[in-house]
């Protein structure tokens, strides 16, 4: 995955999925692939620029992500209710992540997109090459 090009991402709130579509860059992968997050409760990408060069995805606890990002979450919640009623207080949000088995995934990019996803699982899937 390191140094792959993120060429698209999509979010489906009904199926609670977030998909990152990547292309190999400088031999970083054998072919196009997707990173699929399932059970997505929230995500944040500030100023996304595509294509982006993805460096790494780091898994952390949902509680750590919430503690680290709480100031942003709290201020945005006051403005538009994001990410939802489960995040009324830091304590309630942490309890929700523990009860629903949510993890934090930090997405690092050397160019174009940094952010995080709060989800249950993540998988890497190779795309089939259509000829």
**Residue 58 pLDDT > 80:** yes
What is the mean pLDDT of the segment spanning 58-76? 95
Six-digit token string for 67? 């503690």
**6-16 burial code (b ≥16 CB/10 A, e <16):** beebeeeeeee
Is the whole model's pTM more than 0.95, yes or no?
no
Q: Look over the chain and give the mean of its residue pLDDT values, rounded to a whole number.
A: 89
DSSP string across 102-113:
-EEEEEEEEES-
CA dist., res. 46 & res. 107, Å (int): 11
Q: Is 17 helix (H, G, I), strand (E, B) or coil?
A: strand
Scanning 7-113, the segments in alpha helix (DSSP H) are 62-80, 90-99
Split at pLDDT 50, 70, 90, the class of 130 is very low
pLDDT digits (tens, 9 = 90+) for 23-48: 876 655 567 899 999 999 999 998 88
């Amino acid at each position: 995955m390191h140094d792959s090009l993120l060429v698209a991402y999509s979010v489906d709130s009904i199926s609670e999925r977030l998909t990152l579509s990547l292309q190999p860059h400088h031999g970083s992968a054998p072919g196009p692939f997707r990173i699929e997050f399932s059970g997505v409760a929230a995500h944040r990408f500030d100023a996304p620029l595509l294509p982006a060069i993805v460096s790494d995805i780091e898994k952390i606890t949902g509680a750590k992500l919430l503690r680290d990002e709480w100031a942003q979450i709290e201020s945005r919640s006051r403005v538009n209710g994001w990410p939802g009623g489960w995040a009324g207080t830091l304590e309630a949000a942490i309890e929700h992540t523990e009860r629903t088995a949510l993890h934090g995934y930090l997405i690092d990019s050397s160019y174009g997109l940094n952010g995080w996803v709060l989800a249950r699982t993540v998988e890497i899937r190779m795309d089939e090459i259509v000829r």
